[in-house]
């Protein structure tokens, strides 16, 4: 295939860095890393001569291989391992060549290479999430007291602050980062089993070689070969998919806040960004839109991997091979979704005045509950509730504010002074545990940074 066939997802819906981690070249490089380490491990275990290991290692260099040709051969051979081992063996020459890939099966090298790439991929994802966290942490403090309305089912509900909104996103990316790190620690593992998972050609020394190889690659050894038990891979993948879903949530919130009628945030201006020559008022949400599209693509890979778990006996027919494309695509598009959110956040224009304006849009009715509580202390909950409900109905009917209607209500004024009313109707007095929750989110984020 020539450069001409470059697909769009790598161009628009990924990042340079992640695309590099999962490029065909990177896969070959990881496979060569496996072959070199295997030779070293087997030399340590006394299975192959040290000299042979050295000669193999010396040939395990990407620049010796014609990547495009390898992939062309892989199409015929069924796996990339077959042409790669063939070319490597030829290059090593002589008796040492015979020890190339000794005791391993194609799937050992491919699965291990993919694990090495996924480990790098996870690190990139976590780094991106933590950058988002840094912005959210800053805002949690900065907008801690900036009032905005909380919206349920896209209807105004109660007051909250933009700092709390940022803190919720912060807690989210903190949890996602922890989760990815746990996956990295627990699920990334070496694959080594030989053709039937018995390590037969390594005789008695199979597990020793496995242990040495794990050391060489700084990968945990698995309890067992896992050629057709894909729980590790898919558990990593689903956690990555959850990250994509979470990015889409944040991006969608930003898009909703950017609506012309809401206008509480807007993506930063930049030359060539989100504009329209015909419509100068236009500020399209570009980064967030890209984040949402990327996340959709990422999520699409998860059921491919899940249903691909049905792998036959000791080597799958189709389910395994689909992973070769599905995992790179999942990581790349998830990276794209993180990057889209990150780019949107770093330049985001935030409009606290508009937030306050929107909060007041329902004429103060979002403070009805607060008023009921204040009255309840004096009157009992039942009576308070009845009175406030009546006032609220008048607000809806008259179009006046809740404050105006309360000040015209003699029953209420009998029990609450004008100051008490103002206190009860001020949104900043009705924020409950907002502050404490922001502190928790900040503390949680600080903790994973260490």
When asked if residue 167 is in the footprint of a second copy (CB under 8 A), the reply is: yes
Q: Which of 121, 128, 133, 308 binds a second copy (CB under 8 A)?
A: 308
Which one from 175, 315, 356, 440 is the annotated catalytic residue?
315
Q: Which of 33, 94, 34, 85 is nearest to 61 (CA)?
A: 33
3-state secondary structure at position 199: coil
When asked if residue 99 is in the footprint of a second copy (CB under 8 A), the reply is: yes
- For the CB of residue 212, give the shortest distance to a second copy in the complex, in Å: 14
Could you count the other beta carbons within 10 Å of the beta carbon of residue 272? 6
CB nearer a second copy, residue 32 or residue 246? 246
Residues of this chain, 364-393, that bind a second copy according to CB under 8 A: 365-366, 368-370, 372-373, 380-382, 385, 389, 392-393
When asked if residue 30 is in the footprint of a second copy (CB under 8 A), the reply is: no
Q: Is 153 left (phi over 0), alpha (psi -120 to 50) or beta?
A: left
Residues of this chain, 309-348, that bind a second copy according to CB under 8 A: 309-322, 324-326, 328-329, 332-333
3-state secondary structure at position 350: strand
**What pairs with residue 151 in β-bridges?**
156
Residues of this chain, 145-164, that bind a second copy according to CB under 8 A: 149-160, 164
CB nearer a second copy, residue 152 or residue 450? 152
When asked if residue 71 is in the footprint of a second copy (CB under 8 A), the reply is: yes
When asked if residue 221 is in the footprint of a second copy (CB under 8 A), the reply is: no
Please enumerate, as own/partner, the contacts of 51-56 that have beta carbons within 8 Å and a separation of 24 or more.
Answer: 51/96, 52/92, 52/95, 52/96, 52/99, 53/99, 55/92, 55/96, 56/88, 56/92, 56/96, 56/99, 56/100
Taking the CA of residue 331 as centre, how many other CA atoms within 13 Å lie in the half-sphere pointing to its CB?
29
When asked if residue 437 is in the footprint of a second copy (CB under 8 A), the reply is: yes
**276 is annotated as an active-site residue:** yes
Q: Which of 58, 109, 103, 119 is nearest to 83 (CA)?
A: 109
When asked if residue 404 is in the footprint of a second copy (CB under 8 A), the reply is: no
Q: Which of 409, 428, 414, 418 is nearest to 370 (CA)?
A: 428
Residues of this chain, 34-63, that bind a second copy according to CB under 8 A: none
When asked if residue 295 is in the footprint of a second copy (CB under 8 A), the reply is: yes
When asked if residue 397 is in the footprint of a second copy (CB under 8 A), the reply is: no
Tokens representing 164?
Answer: 């709390």
CB nearer a second copy, residue 142 or residue 178? 178
Active site residues: 276, 315
């Amino acid at each position: 295939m020539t450069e001409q066939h470059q697909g769009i997802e790598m161009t628009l819906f990924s990042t340079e860095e992640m695309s590099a981690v999962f490029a065909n070249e990177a896969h070959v490089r990881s496979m060569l890393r496996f072959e070199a380490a295997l030779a070293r491990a087997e030399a340590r275990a006394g299975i192959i001569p040290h000299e042979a290991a050295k000669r193999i290692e010396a040939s395990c260099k990407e620049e010796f291989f014609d990547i495009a040709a390898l992939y062309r051969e892989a199409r015929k051979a069924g796996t990339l391992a077959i042409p790669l081992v063939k070319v490597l063996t030829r290059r090593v020459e002589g008796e040492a060549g015979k020890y190339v890939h000794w005791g391993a099966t194609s799937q050992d090298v491919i699965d291990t290479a993919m694990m090495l790439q996924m480990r790098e991929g996870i690190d990139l994802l976590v780094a991106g999430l933590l950058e988002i966290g840094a912005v959210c942490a800053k805002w949690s403090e900065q907008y801690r007291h900036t009032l905005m309305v909380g919206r349920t089912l896209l209807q105004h509900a109660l007051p909250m602050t933009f700092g709390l909104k940022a803190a919720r996103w912060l807690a989210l990316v903190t949890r996602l980062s922890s989760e990815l790190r746990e996956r990295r620690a627990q699920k990334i593992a070496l694959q080594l089993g030989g053709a039937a998972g018995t390590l037969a050609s390594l005789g008695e020394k199979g597990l020793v070689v496995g242990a040495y190889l794990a050391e060489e690659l700084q990968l945990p050894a698995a309890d067992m070969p896992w050629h057709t038990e894909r729980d590790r891979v898919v558990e990593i993948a689903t956690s990555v998919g959850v990250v994509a879903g979470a990015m889409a949530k944040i991006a969608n919130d930003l898009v909703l806040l950017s609506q012309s009628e809401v206008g509480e945030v807007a993506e930063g201006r930049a030359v060539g960004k989100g504009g329209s020559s015909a419509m100068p008022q236009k500020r399209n949400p570009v980064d967030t839109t890209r984040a949402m599209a990327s996340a959709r693509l990422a999520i699409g890979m998860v059921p491919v991997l899940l249903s691909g778990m049905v792998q036959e006996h000791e080597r799958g027919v189709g389910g395994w091979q689909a992973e070769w494309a599905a995992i790179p695509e999942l990581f790349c598009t998830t990276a794209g979704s993180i990057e889209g959110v990150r780019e949107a956040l770093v330049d985001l224009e935030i409009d606290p005045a508009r937030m306050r304006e929107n909060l007041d849009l329902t004429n103060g009715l979002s403070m009805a509950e607060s008023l009921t509580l204040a009255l309840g202390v004096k009157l009992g909950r039942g009576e308070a509730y009845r009175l406030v409900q009546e006032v609220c109905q008048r607000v809806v009917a008259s179009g006046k504010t809740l404050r105006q209607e309360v000040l015209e209500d003699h029953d209420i004024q009998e029990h609450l002074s004008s100051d008490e009313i103002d206190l009860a109707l001020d949104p900043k007095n009705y924020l409950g545990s907002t502050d404490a929750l922001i502190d928790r989110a900040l503390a949680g984020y600080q903790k994973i940074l260490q």
